Chain A
């Protein structure tokens, strides 16, 4: 008989990985608790103290150092004043008046007019309903603060993002330069740049605006660049064959053809900005986020739910309005002007006229300026949410406790003790070995550097605890993602039902998830994990579903005609062929989970998340908080880079 020698690379790798894990478990059993580099909650390393001192130095010289005096402080001033100006218009008493310039009636009318002009009558009505509900929930001023911060950040983001996006769309070189920067901005967990920002711009609107911009600019640049680049080369060639300059081609061809996609970018930018504007409550940004944050810290479910509801409503209104605007652009493009120019002008004039009249009323009369206190149903909502939470916790406790215990004892505790309870050198060796197995030498180097950085930051054990929670959450995300993704990918009906839910889930600001989950499970690290899972699951599910749908129908048909059962079809054809998408889903899921670590710190998860949050509130812990933020970034980089990259290469033509 002839024995063929099959290249045994894969199985060998698998055995090696198994051997490493076995050695790890054995080592843990023998050496648990030794060399774990634990650091107590209030303990500091010299590095943290050094950061504290440096920070104090910055504080002392804020108004004398020329870099601050002539650069940083000006930016701070401009941003602060911008936000304050919008606040003066719609949310805060201003210009010596006890009320803002535009009262509630004026704001509602203006918002309706704008959404009507750029969208349609349906979103205008939705906008009216949404804005009135802010008042009804008793959160008018807070909502307007959030809106002011969001709109200011969006205005600056678009002012920076669209021109840069156009540039990146036109210049391949600039695009190659900016893409990794945007990658970094987007993979960086959202909370970690809050602390360094406050170092430069203090807490308050300026830092909040910049944090929001960091989060909101990448989609603006990316989508604009994509839109500019995707403009049909045939049309461009025709234009230049007629002697158009590049400026003329940009103005007459590229920008008009890219407009619809750019509006989609505006939508993404607005949603990202709203999400971050609420999170920026951690650095004292005004608005609904602060209300939620306060409520979370005092475990006041009712108040948190009430404010969370307002955030959701604002997200829905902003999302629908900008989506309607992009549809309008599309229909205009398809069918020409819908009506005559004259009719359109009358329409716009009437809408703005009504808004102006109502705005004047709200400027002049108290009843139109302050939302009527009698119409406040916020207290009912709060009490109802409280009651519901209590009822759910009482009556579902059997179920929720079981779930909590299974995951805590079955997954979380073993992981945590293995990672955080083993000697650091053992975990270090395991991590580098695994990275080398999965991603080769480069991955191993990155892993070694990253893990060394964690030790250097003095937060080894906290990092390991966070890593354990992150891995557990990612496992849950992938279980959910693969199961649901396969279902959606195979069933049109499931797709029709679940996709809007997932879309909605993705547009919601991250904060909002915590509230109902906190209501269900109370403040524990388990709550943080579930919140992260809920936050990360939609993107993972969608990616897996895309992958399943991407399997060629001919292949599926062939497998079916060969007599595969559904299970065989899924496990032997569809999932293997969607491997790239599944790997990408795992990667994205991980990044999303990691970005919820800090939020988890608010509701009972300890470790790095708690360190960051504590750094915001306690003076002597801010150095440690900064280090913890860095540790999260390091974890993100190690997890993101130390693996095989499944992303398909983009072929760039032209």
Chain B
């Protein structure tokens, strides 16, 4: 498909407790492991790749290990085992200096509780990452102003964090991460502390920014609708282990197990699934001169065409007929 992945994580483990190496590779359940060794495996044998320009979402309930996972990626939490290849080089092998360089130039993170410096104004907060890597004041202020404009905070340069609303504070956190122009942006549940309206606004903001700056993003969330909305691909975690990885419609349309099925049961499937998921082979006697639609079209958007057509709608990709959809399939899907 696309070129080399930005991030290639292989067999990552993070075990908390005494002599954590012992627990690596164990197949015991979390409970048994805790009883036998006193260790807690927060991340167990997780592998995935993130492609350039992709929004990769890691989703799980609290305690599933997703926040630990994202911290392992920049070694804010030291992984116990595994490889984290970032542009082909293993982050785990980096020494202190190299790690610092990576953090200063290539990776940036946005936190759930913002982590702003309360004693600095917005401009100085955004410029902080540039300041500690040693760029001169005029230069870093110029860059900070650019980024503030990007996130829509122009005019608030001299405000202090506690004068801003939660949503605006998180924009500052976002601007701080963007200011260093990283190759990879990590988000640790950035909108969980915000109220629902602001959260939606910020999600749209992320979508907009992703279009404008095209950064590769790893996004942690416990909110399925957020995951479906933002993610190009979703990794679902449970008790530290990977349960399923796939595109939003794969997760909703073909849950890997009961856990995921339960999870996605409330999702309005017609909003996520595409025609590919409901089309069927054309029957021999069916007329094949109905309207044409693409297989990646979300069902919701096809409803009008299909229901108003008096014959089966053809699902076609590059001139090839993949199948047909009639009002029966649509209604069955919506009624489910």
Query: B205 near A: Cβ within 8 Å?
Result: no
In whole angstroms, what is the CA distance A252 to B160 when docked?
A: 16
Assuming the contacts A334-B160, A335-B160, asked whether A241 and B76 have C-beta atoms less than 8 A apart, the reply is yes
The answer to whether B119 touches A257 (Cβ under 8 A) is: yes
Asked if A234 and B111 make an inter-chain contact with CB atoms under 8 angstroms apart, the answer reads: yes
| Chain A min CB distance to B42 (Å) | 16
Residues in chain A near residue B104, CB distance under 8 A? 242-243
Chain B 158-197, CB within 8 Å of chain A: the 1/0 string? 1110110000000001001000100000000000000000
Q: How far is the CA of A117 from the CA of B105 in the complex (A)?
A: 41
Residues in B with CB closer than 8 Å to A333 are 118-119
Contacts of B108 in A (CB 8 A): 241-242
In the complex, B103 has a CB within 8 A of chain A: yes
CA distance A253 to B132 in the complex (A): 12
B133 touches A (CB below 8 Å): yes
Question: Are B101 and A242 in contact, CB atoms less than 8 angstroms apart?
Answer: no
What's the Cα separation between A243 and B135 when bound, in Å?
13
CB-CB < 8 A to A336: which residues of B? 121, 158-160
Nearest to B100 among chain A residues (CB) is: A243
B160 touches A242 (CB 8 A): no
Do the beta carbons of B128 and A252 come within 8 Å of each other?
yes
Q: Does A245 contact B (CB under 8 A)?
A: yes
Contacts of A232 in B (CB 8 A): 115
Report the minimum CB–CB distance from A446 to chain B (whole Å).
33
Quick one: which of B104, B107, B128 has the most chain A CB within 10 A?
B128
Neighbouring A residues of B132 by C-beta, 8 Å: 239, 242-245, 248, 252
* A238 interfacial by beta-carbon distance below 8 Å: yes
**CB of B22 to closest CB in A, whole Å:** 24
Instruction: Tell me, in angstroms, the Cα distance from A334 to B99 when the chains sit together.
Output: 34
Q: Tell me how many residues of B have a C-beta within 8 Å of chain A.
A: 36
In the bound complex, do residue B114 and residue A234 qualify as a contact, i.e. CB atoms below 8 Å apart? yes
Task: Compute how far the CA of A241 lies from the CA of B112 in the bound complex, rounded to whole angstroms.
Answer: 13
Question: For residue B105, which residue of chain A has the nearest CB?
Answer: A243
A45 at the interface (CB under 8 A from B): no
The closest CB in chain A to the CB of B110 belongs to A238
A237 CA to B176 CA, complexed, in Å: 14
A331 CB → nearest B CB, Å: 11
CB distance from A240 to the nearest CB of B (A): 7
- A237 touching B76, Cβ below 8 Å: yes
Q: Which residues of B contact A27 (CB under 8 A)?
A: none
Contacts of A245 in B (CB 8 A): 100, 132
A248 to B129 alpha-carbon distance, docked (Å): 11
Knowing A243-B129, A244-B132 touch, does A237 contact B119 (C-beta < 8 A)? no
Chain A residue with minimal CB distance to B130?
Answer: A242
Query: CA–CA, A239 to B117, complex, Å?
Result: 9
A460 to chain B: closest CB distance in Å? 50
A448→B100 CA distance, assembly (Å) = 57
Chain A residues with Cβ under 8 A from B176's Cβ?
Answer: 238, 242
Q: How far is the CB of A123 from chain B (nearest CB, A)?
A: 23
A240 touches B115 (CB 8 A): no
9 closest A-B pairs (Cβ-Cβ)? A238-B115, A243-B104, A243-B103, A242-B129, A241-B109, A234-B115, A256-B119, A243-B100, A234-B113
**30 residue pairs A–B, Cβ–Cβ below 8 Å:** A234-B112, A234-B114, A235-B115, A235-B117, A237-B76, A237-B115, A238-B109, A238-B111, A238-B115, A238-B116, A239-B128, A239-B132, A240-B76, A241-B74, A241-B107, A242-B104, A242-B108, A242-B129, A242-B132, A242-B180, A243-B102, A243-B129, A243-B133, A253-B117, A256-B117, A257-B117, A259-B119, A334-B160, A334-B162, A336-B158
Interface residues of A (CB under 8 A from B): 232, 234-245, 248, 252-253, 256-257, 259, 332-336
Additional A-B contacts beyond A237-B111, A243-B129 (19; CB < 8 A) = A234-B112, A234-B115, A235-B117, A238-B111, A238-B173, A240-B76, A240-B103, A242-B108, A242-B109, A242-B132, A243-B102, A243-B132, A245-B100, A245-B132, A248-B132, A259-B119, A333-B118, A334-B160, A336-B158
